[in-house]
Structure 1
Amino acid sequence: MKRIAVMTSGGDAPGMNAAVRAVVRKGIYHGLEVYGIKRGFAGLIIGEMEKMELSSVADIIHRGGTILRTARCDEFKDPEVQKKAVELLREKGIDGIIVIGGDGSFMGARALSNLGIPTIGIPGTIDNDIPSTDYSIGFDTAVNTAIDAINKIRDTATSHERTFVVEVMGRNAGDIALASGLAGGAESILIPEEEVSLEEVVKRLLQGSKRGKLHSIIVVAEGVASGNDVGEYIKGKTGFDTRVIVLGHVQRGGAPSSFDRILASRLAAKAVDLLLDNEAGKMVGLINNNVVATEIKEALSQKHEIDKEMLELARILSI
């Protein structure tokens, strides 16, 4: 193993730059040449890469987004395109690749490993929907962004005695909604993993109103319903002054939290070690605060699970 490459793929996540920095510096520390592939698999298939030096990753650990840029590339699902990418990598002397991204990126990483290019995946997605790790890079920062917004919304909700519906991201996972809803004291949390009827949400709102509650926060994961639809339903059933806030892509931006910077650095360092040990087709993750490696095939075969105890706690504390 003399020359490796690193890429960021799929949706950007705060902490990706910290991971790129750790890959480059850990690799150079061990005498490797490290190349950065621009724009994920879209850049890989056209050979868009450059050699990274220590100075290439200076002053990026605190920056959101990714200096390598990122893109989605459906074209890479084609086996013929994958084979051409492998030929290109071999021409450039790349001995191994580290892919930072979500489940779609891991599928691409697995394909490269199956074709003979040792590849390691690092989970980087705000959705936190990757099995075999307690946390993915970017999740903590996204939750803190959502909580900050909920805190501000609660101030105006209190002042105007309003009900606010806050729609957060997460694709088909409810982790952001659950964590930000619990930390933000939401009255109801709607997530894809747990069926909750809007009738029940309305019932809780009316019960709260009867005991003198003048404002409420409802957190909705984008994968379960539209915040606007939920808001219209609540307003129609209760007559309450109801407003809707869709946080959207603001949750992807901003400086990564200290947790995400440390997580990214630990996972990236382990990924380099795995390549040096001639490991391939694996992902790194954090389980019970230990950095572990899991076969990508095994991780992708598992179903993402929500923390049911946390969900129950959120329900109890919002009575």
Structure 2
Amino acid sequence: MSAAFQKTEGWLDWRANPSTPSYKPPPGAVDAHCHVFGPGAEFPFAPERKYTPCDASKDQLFALRDHLGFSRNVLVQATCHGADNRATLDAIVHANGNAKGVASVKPSVTDEELDALNDGGVKGIRFNFVKRLVDPIAPEALAGLVKRINKYGWHIVIYFEAPDLPDLFDFISSIDTTVVVDHMGRPNLTKSLEGPEFSLFLKLMSHNDHVWSKVTCPERLSVSGPPSYDDFAPFASKVVEDFPDRVLWGTDWPHPNLKSHMPDDAWLVDMIPRIARTKELQHKLLVDNPMRLYWPEES
């Protein structure tokens, strides 16, 4: 890492040598939530960032993809890069058709900039409401962006925490394109699966056919901990079984902002048959759904 970019104190580095998963993904499987960070010397981090990550390059991501048995990646723009999407676009270009992207943009983004993102393989934009990571933009200020991206057929990826959902429920419901919620809206896994907090998230999905969810990040959400993340499985399997055609899965590599432990990515892959408990559900989760959303011309 460049001396100008010193990693935030306490952060753990991603594992350079993950083990081999026991579970073998089906052919064509997509890691639909991952990131690239810099490298900072080539793609500087944003001045307004709230954290500085370790470097995590496209080549390292693609090596992990191959090692874990996946075929494609969906790269989600990292908040440490702000609205400068160059690192994500560069990774897409070098993936030889095997990557798409989700960008971060400001409401002031120009039509020409949106056109360039679309030409570069971007299929959606991300709205982040997690205050410790960003200074969130008010939903009403984002409504104009939603209208502007409709001509591209893009979707919205939205990141929030469970206590924020009551304030965001109507906004998400009103969006007139596909919305993909990161990490099931970050439920508190110490609370009941049938409790009011997670029930509200399930209501959001059941009342809105345009809302999808990523069943991701046991390493981030679990209280019971690695390597089995037992408390995560019931929540994720509930979402997969109730909404099999509107779920996605991803590694979240390189696992930003983790301080308690850094997962072996093989542990995360081996969670898949525990949350998608049939071959049919696994194929929908890993192949059919991400292909329909990100490579519709091939699905």
TM-score, structure 1 normalization: 0.29
The structure whose Rg is larger is: 1
Q: Which has more helix, going by share of residues?
A: 1
TM-score, structure 2 normalization: 0.30
